[in-house]
Amino acid sequence: MAHCSGSAPPMLIQSIPPHFRTRSTLTSKAVVPMTRRQHSSKKTTTLYVRNMVCNRCIRVVREELERLGVSVHSIVLGEVVVAGGIPSLPIPEIRRMLVDNGFELIEDRRTRIIEQIKHEIIGIVFQSSGKDLKDRKISAYLSSRIGIEYHTLSSLFSSVENMTIEHYFLLQRVERVKELMKYHEQTLSEIAWITGFSSVQHLSTQFKQLTGMTPSEFRDLTHSLRKSIDSVGRKRTPTPFGKSDITDCRILVTHFLPKSGILHL
């Protein structure tokens, strides 16, 4: 269809059904075709990033992308919408920048879905509390948020992570319990309510099963056993021991492990 450079003829305007008329035709102005450059500038690409778990992560990723000259349209945990199509983006530089800052560009669809599941669960646990968290049906919530049937999500997650989604959800709730106990601002009863446990007994039972210690025993070891959110459920990678690590291990061996029965000398 050819585009004219002058005003559209009156008969042409009248022949267009009202619900198809644009603002330009109704005011008898010419519709200027979009150039290739203008069209490409409208494109966006969604980048999926592993290990984004907090607002500081969001700030770092945004600042580093902008430093590379990439325009960020929007950013949430695990997802960044940037201007331009894949061919116009400096993907190798973006990949390297993310690794340098402790993140990772996710390019596999299965991995991307699993990261979406984790980010949604982290959001639920650390942004909800009380009755909302206790009554939340995780299966329906994840299906609606990700747009995939829960059975498919559950099977994929279990096959890759070697644990169920429900168990990962419980692990994150226990991590929030640890965080709240660390600050000594709430009683254990209040913490149980905030994290969606039905009672202090319920919390203590789950906590003991997952950590090997009671909440009160954990208070004495808070500084050494708190995990980062993104490492929950992952196998720990061996790292060189420092002086503080040795001290923590001595505390565990001397005070906690003999009492728990885990260490038999």
- Alpha-carbon 206 to chain mean position: 24
Residue 162 has pLDDT above 90, yes or no: yes
Q: Which residues pair with 130 in a beta bridge?
A: none
Burial 86-96 (b: 16+ CB within 10 A, else e): eeebeeeebee
CB 37 within 8 A of CB 85: no
- CA dist 89 and 105 (Å) reads 13
Residue 148 has pLDDT above 70, yes or no: yes
- Report the percent of the chain where pLDDT is more than 70: 68
Residue 239 has pLDDT above 90, yes or no: no
- What totals of helices (H) and strands (E) does the chain contain, helices first? 16, 4
- The hierarchical CATH code for the domain 38-107 is 3.30.70.100
pLDDT in tens, 212-229: 999 988 977 765 545 555
Question: What CATH class is the domain 128-232+242-260?
Answer: mainly alpha
Q: Name the average pLDDT for the chain.
A: 76
- CA dist 76 and 81 (Å) reads 9
- CA dist 143 and 187 (Å) reads 34
CATH 3.30.70.100 residue window(s) in the chain: 38-107
Residue 153 has pLDDT above 60, yes or no: yes
Which of these, 239, 221, 242, lies nearest to 231 by C-alpha position? 239
Q: What is the pTM of this model?
A: 0.61
Single-letter residue type at 137: K
More confident: 129 or 12: 129
Write out the two tokens for 88: 């116009």
pLDDT in tens, 27-69: 334 444 444 344 445 799 999 999 988 889 999 999 999 999 9
Model pLDDT, residue 127:
85
* Average pLDDT of span 160-174: 95
Write out the two tokens for 147: 């747009």
Highest mean pLDDT among 25-29, 62-66, 131-135, 250-254: 62-66
Which of these, 98, 85, 14, 17, lies nearest to 45 by C-alpha position? 85
- CA dist 151 and 71 (Å) reads 37
pLDDT in tens, 103-126: 999 988 899 999 999 999 998 898
- Report the percent of the chain where pLDDT is more than 90: 51
Residue 263 has pLDDT above 70, yes or no: no
CATH 1.10.10.60 residue window(s) in the chain: 128-232+242-260
